[in-house]
Amino acid sequence: MNIITNKIIFIFLTFLFFSSCNTIENKEKIFKAGSLSNDSLKLQQNSALNESEQKIKNEKRLTSPEMAPIKTPVEKPKVKTLILNKKIKLPKRNRFNFNSIKNFSETDLIKKIGKSSFIKQEGKLKNYQYYFTKCFLDVFLINKNNNFYVNLVKARPTKLNGKLNINDCLEEIEKKLN
């Protein structure tokens, strides 16, 4: 008997709960199932009409003689970019050549490269050493007729038993010359 009364109370409370969530107008629509679909169709038609009416009103606003004319911003055309197929030829740089300073006099060498970092003289031989970050440049001058002339030019790495990258060395020498 308790089970039956509990079921009746439970059903009554759920019905009361669900019915209290709706307003009186919605209760009538729930019980009228056929009118629910008609109402939803009417709402859809009204919303479609409202949207079309708003568009017409917006157009009238733009062309209305009562308002001052407003220039609407025009979208700027996009810039077209093209890939250049033409290859640009860069002029070949005259790389520093060790033989280009061979047979220079001592004064010509100083004018061309500049003052050396270290000078060593032994008899008829003079050694000008230029220190760069990538290499050391040794220029050997020999005494002929009381003047020194470049006889030999050598490059060596900055580290003992290190590797010499001759291209990096030549680029750095070129930078100093220019």
Q: What is the pLDDT of residues 60-85, one digit of tens each?
A: 555 555 666 677 788 888 887 777 67
Report the pLDDT value the prediction gives residue 127, as an integer from 0 to 100: 93
pLDDT confidence of residue 139? 92
Q: 98-177 sits in which CATH class?
A: alpha beta
pLDDT at 40 over 90: no
Least confident of 88-92, 119-123, 154-158: 88-92
Better pLDDT: 170 or 1: 170
Q: Is 69 left (phi over 0), alpha (psi -120 to 50) or beta?
A: beta
Other CB atoms closer than 10 Å to residue 79's CB: what's the count? 5
* pLDDT of 97: 75
Percentage of residues in the chain having pLDDT higher than 70: 63
Averaged pLDDT for residues 39-67:
59
Mean pLDDT, all residues of the chain:
76
Q: How far apart are CA 134 and CA 139, in angstroms?
A: 16
- Give me the sheet containing 135-144, strands edge to edge: 118-122, 125-131, 135-144, 147-157
101 neighbors 149 (Cβ within 8 angstroms): no
Region 11-35: mean pLDDT is: 62
Average pLDDT over residues 128-135: 90
Q: Where are the chain's structural domains?
A: 2-62, 98-177
